[in-house]
Amino acid sequence: MTQHLKRYLPILSWGRTYDRQKFNGDLVAAVIVTIMLIPQSLAYALLAGLPPEAGLYASIAPIILYTIFGTSRALAVGPVAVVSLMTAAALGNIAEQGTMGYAAAALLLAGLSGVMLLAMGLLRLGFIANFLSHPVIAGFILASGLIIAASQLKHILGIDAEGHNLLDLASSLIAHLPETNLVTAIIGALATAFLFWVRKGLKPALLRLGVSEGGANVISKAGPVLVVVLTTLAVWALGLADQGVKIVGAVPQSLPPLTLPDFSLDLVGQLLLPAFLISIIGFVESISVAQTLAAKKRERIDPDQELIGLGAANVAASVTGGFPVTGGFSRSVVNFDAGAETPAAGAYTAIGLAIAAVALTPLIYFLPKATLAATIIVAVLSLVDFSILKRSWQYSKADFAAVLATILLTLFVSVEAGVSAGVTLSILLHLYKSSRPHIAEVGLVPGTEHFRNILRHEVETDPRVVTLRVDESLYFANARFLEDSIQNRVAADPDIRHVILQCSAINEIDLSALESLEAINNRLDEMNVKLHLSEVKGPVMDRLQRSHFLDELTGRVFLTQFEAAQVARESCNDTQAR
C-alpha cells in the first residue's frame, strides 16, 4: 500500500529526508525563478490572448500540484511559449480574444489536456508521445518560434493584426502598418534591442567586471525585469498612455480565483484535437528537460508518473483561472542552476508568485504591452534553429522531408496541420522504408563459416542454391515484397533447387508474413524448389511453432547458415548422382 502510494506520490519519498540545507537551496532558487517568472507569465498570457493575470494564476496552483505528483526535482511548470501559441491558435477559431467565452474556453482546454495527460499516465499510454519524431518536434518549434515572433510585432508597432499562420499575419500587419503608433514603436524597438544585448552581451560584460559565472547567469536572467521596471516608469512619468501606448491596465489584486470550465459538448468536440496535441507536445518538451536535468544528478524520471504530474498541473490550471501549462526549458534550467534541491523549490516559487499577484499587480498598471512583446520575441527567437534542416538533409532524406513538411504546414497553414502532417509523414516514411527492406543474396566467404553479400564480397556460391538474407522484420508491409522478390529471383533461373532464407536480422514475423511464407513455400514447391530457413531467432521460432508452417515447409530449419548451405548442396549432388 505504502509502495503504491509512493509510486503515485513521489513527495512521500523526497519529503521524508527534507532538511535545513535542502530548504536553503530551494529557497534561493525559488526567489530567482520568481523574479524571472513575473514578466514571463504576463508575456505568455498576452501570447495566449488572455489577460495578464491569467499568466500569474497559471504559474501558481500548477506548480504546487506538480510538486506533489511529479518525479523531476528541478522541473518548473507553468505557461511556455509554444503551448501558449497553440492555445491562441486553438481558441482563435472559437471565440474573440478578450471575451468571457475565450477565457472560459482556455480553462476547458487546460482541463481537457489535464484529463488526457492523467488518463495517459494511469493507463501507461505515454508511448503515444513517441510518435512525435525529433525532426517533427524540431521543425514545429522552429516554425512556432517564427509565428510567435511575427504575432508579437503588432504589439511592438501598436497596431491591430490577426492570424494564426505567417501569411495571414503578414497580410494583416501590412494592412495595418499605416496605423503604427510611433511612441509604442520606439519603446518596443528599444526594449527588444536591450533584451538582445542582455542575452548576448551582458554576461560577457559582467564576467569582465569580475562577477562570477553563476552570478552573471542569474543577473542576466533578471534583464527582462529591468526592462519592465524602466518602461513602466517611463510610461507613467511621461504620460505616454495618453499618446496611444497600450498598457496592461488594471489587473485584479487577488489570489487565483476558483473557476469552472465551460463543459458544453460542442466546445469539447472542437477542442479535443488541440487539447490532445497540446498534451503531447507539452509532455515531450517537459520530459526531455526533466531527463536532461535528472541525468546530471543520476536520478530517474518515470515517464508515466510525469504524465500524472503534468495532468494534475493542467487540471489545477483549469480550476484556478489559468490556461494550458507544461515544464519549461529555460525556467527549469535556471531553477536547477540556482541550486533547487527538491520539488519544494516549486512550491516556494508559487508562494512568491501568489504574493506578486496580491501585492504587485497595481505596480504594473502602466507596463506597456510592447515590453511584454519584446520579452516574447527575444525568448522565442532563440528557439529558431535552422540547423535541423542541414543536419536532417545530410543524415536522411526521409527525416528531412518530415522536417520540411512540418515547417511549411505550420508556417503557412496552422500549427495543428503542421504537427499532424509531420507525424503522419514520419510514420508513412518509416513504413515505406521497412516495406522495401534490404534483401541481400549471400555467399560463403572462402575458408570461413561466414556468409556475406555477393555484391560486396568475393564469395562462393552454388547455382542450385540461393541464400537470401532479409535485413528487416517481416510484417504485413513487406510480406508481398518478399513474395515478389523470391518469385522473381527463382522464376528467372531454372537451375535453382533450394532457397535458403537467412533469418538472422528478423526480429518478428507477423501473421501476414507467415501467410506469405506459406505462399512462397507452396509456390516454390510448384517450381520443384525447396525452401529452408536458417538462424531463426528464439522468439520468432517460438511463434512459428504455434502455426502449421513448419509442418508444411518443404525444407528444414537450420541453426546456422553454414549447415544449411552444406546440406542443400549435398542434397543437390545426391539428386544428380542418382
Q: Which of the residues 116 through 145 are near a second copy (CB under 8 A)?
A: 127, 129-135
User: Among 122, 123, 233, 527, which residue sits at the site for a second copy (rule: CB under 8 A)?
Assistant: 527
Q: Which of the residues 252 through 291 are near a second copy (CB under 8 A)?
A: 287-288, 291
Tell me whether residue 256 or residue 327 sits nearer to a second copy (CB atom): 327
Transcribe 145-207 into DSSP letters.
HHHHHHHHHHHHHT-----SSHHHHHHHHHHHGGG--HHHHHHHHHHHHHHHHIIIIIHHHHH
Smallest Cα–Cα separation from 67: which of 115, 14, 29? Answer: 14
**What is the C-alpha separation between 277 and 144, in angstroms, rounded?**
14
Distance in Å, CB of 56 to a second copy, minimum:
33
Cβ-contact 227, 199 below 8 angstroms: no
- The site that binds a second copy (CB under 8 A) totals a number of residues, namely 78
Q: At what angle do helices 81-92 and 265-296 cross, to 10 degrees?
A: 170
Distance in Å, CB of 69 to a second copy, minimum:
18
Transcribe 224-286 into DSSP letters.
HHHHHHHHHHHHHHHTGGGGT--B------SSPPP------HHHHHHHHHHHHHHHHHHHHHH
Distance in Å, CB of 483 to a second copy, minimum:
6
**What is the C-alpha separation between 221 and 273, in angstroms, rounded?**
35
Cell numbers found for residue 563: 549447415
Q: Does 332 contact a second copy by CB under 8 A?
A: no
Q: Does 14 contact a second copy by CB under 8 A?
A: no
Q: Does 434 contact a second copy by CB under 8 A?
A: yes
Q: Does 386 contact a second copy by CB under 8 A?
A: no
Tell me whether residue 24 or residue 522 sits nearer to a second copy (CB atom): 522
Tell me whether residue 257 or residue 494 sits nearer to a second copy (CB atom): 494
Cell numbers found for residue 119: 488518463
Tell me whether residue 42 or residue 143 sits nearer to a second copy (CB atom): 143
Cell numbers found for residue 312: 494534475
Tell me whether residue 61 or residue 536 sits nearer to a second copy (CB atom): 536
- Containing 486, the helix (H) or strand (E) segment is helix 476-491
Residue 303 has, within 13 A of its CA and on its CB side, a CA count of: 17
Stretch that binds a second copy, among 40-48, 338-346, 408-416, 425-433 (CB under 8 A): 425-433
Tell me whether residue 93 or residue 488 sits nearer to a second copy (CB atom): 488
Q: Does 44 contact a second copy by CB under 8 A?
A: no
In single-letter form, the type of residue at position 196 comes to F
Stretch that binds a second copy, among 2-10, 19-27, 307-315, 491-499 (CB under 8 A): 491-499
User: Among 391, 412, 560, 566, which residue sits at the site for a second copy (rule: CB under 8 A)?
Assistant: 391
Across the strands, what pairs with 500? Answer: 467, 532
Q: Which of the residues 393 through 412 are near a second copy (CB under 8 A)?
A: 394-396, 398-399
User: Among 339, 483, 541, 569, which residue sits at the site for a second copy (rule: CB under 8 A)?
Assistant: 483
Distance in Å, CB of 291 to a second copy, minimum:
6
Tell me whether residue 120 or residue 370 sits nearer to a second copy (CB atom): 120
Cell numbers found for residue 240: 505616454
Stretch that binds a second copy, among 42-50, 98-106, 148-156, 424-432 (CB under 8 A): 424-432
Stretch that binds a second copy, among 156-164, 332-340, 470-478, 565-573 (CB under 8 A): 470-478
Tell me whether residue 56 or residue 479 sits nearer to a second copy (CB atom): 479
Q: Alpha-carbon torsion 226, 230, 231, 236, what sign?
A: positive
**What is the C-alpha separation between 422 and 277, in angstroms, rounded?**
12
User: Among 282, 303, 346, 418, which residue sits at the site for a second copy (rule: CB under 8 A)?
Assistant: 303
Tell me whether residue 19 or residue 526 sits nearer to a second copy (CB atom): 526
Distance in Å, CB of 477 to a second copy, minimum:
5
Q: Does 474 contact a second copy by CB under 8 A?
A: no
Q: Does 542 contact a second copy by CB under 8 A?
A: no
Distance in Å, CB of 88 to a second copy, minimum:
28
Q: Does 390 contact a second copy by CB under 8 A?
A: no
Tell me whether residue 430 or residue 569 sits nearer to a second copy (CB atom): 430
Q: Does 546 contact a second copy by CB under 8 A?
A: yes
The string over 262-295, giving b where at least 16 C-beta atoms fall within 10 Å of a residue's C-beta and e elsewhere, is eeeeebeebbeebbbbbbbbbbbbbbebbebbbe
Q: Which of the residues 176 through 205 are near a second copy (CB under 8 A)?
A: none
**What is the C-alpha separation between 479 and 474, in angstroms, rounded?**
6
Q: Does 490 contact a second copy by CB under 8 A?
A: yes
User: Among 149, 294, 374, 517, which residue sits at the site for a second copy (rule: CB under 8 A)?
Assistant: 294
* CA dihedral of 385, 389, 391, 392, whole degrees rounded to 10: 130
DSSP state of 368: B
Mark out the alpha helices in 48-133 (DSSP H runs): 52-69, 81-92, 100-122
Tracing cell 548576448 back to the chain, one arrives at 200
Tell me whether residue 36 or residue 544 sits nearer to a second copy (CB atom): 544
Q: Alpha-carbon torsion 407, 413, 416, 420, what sign?
A: negative
At 129, is the secondary structure helix, strand, or coil?
A: helix
Distance of CA 87 to the CA centre of its chain: 16
Stretch that binds a second copy, among 248-256, 337-345, 390-398, 562-570 (CB under 8 A): 390-398
User: Among 526, 551, 576, 577, which residue sits at the site for a second copy (rule: CB under 8 A)?
Assistant: 526
Cβ atoms < 10 Å from Cβ of 242: 8
Tell me whether residue 448 or residue 488 sits nearer to a second copy (CB atom): 488
Binding mask 493-522 for a second copy (x = CB under 8 A): -x----------x-xx-xxx-xxx--x--x
Distance in Å, CB of 553 to a second copy, minimum:
16
